[in-house]
Amino acid sequence: MTIQPDPKQIYLNAEMASRLAGIDIGSNSVRLLVAEVFRGSSYRILDEEREPTRLARSISSDGRLNEDAMERTLAALETFKQIAAGYQVSALRTIATCAVREATNGPEFCQRIEKEVGLNVEVISG
């Protein structure tokens, strides 16, 4: 299933603006922001999405992310990647924060995301 952007949106050509997207893999949800960035410093948000995944709640006593929470996150990432593609973004950046950074299997989960979804995840400090 391919998700298409709202046809009522007004789109500008690439010389006037570029479309960028960011995905944030947080402790409790995955978020997507798609924006049109104009020359200079102004921008317009085209889409915002949020999917609860509860990564932090599912960390086991040994510090590992739970399989069900990882599956929910992978599904959200695939959906958000399709949404961003529908907007024909020129760049998509994916970051992860505390839950992935502190999980003992966080690096493996990032590799899994890259393999299964095709997104390179940057784990940022908090």
| Stretch (H or E) spanning 53 | none
Cβ neighbours for 69, distance < 8 A, ≥ 6 positions apart: 53, 54, 55, 57, 58
Helix axis angle, 67-86 relative to 106-117, nearest 10°? 40
pTM, rounded to two decimals: 0.86
Each domain of the chain, given as residue ranges in start order, spans 17-123
Per-residue pLDDT of the chain (126 residues; tens, 9 = 90+): 445 555 445 555 555 689 999 999 999 999 999 999 998 789 999 999 999 999 988 788 899 999 999 999 999 999 999 999 999 999 999 999 999 999 999 999 999 999 999 999 999 997
Fold of 17-123: Nucleotidyltransferase; domain 5 (3.30.420)
d(CA 79, CA 51): 10
- Extract the tokens encoding 72: 């929910």
- The neighbour count for residue 125, using CB atoms within 10 Å, is 6
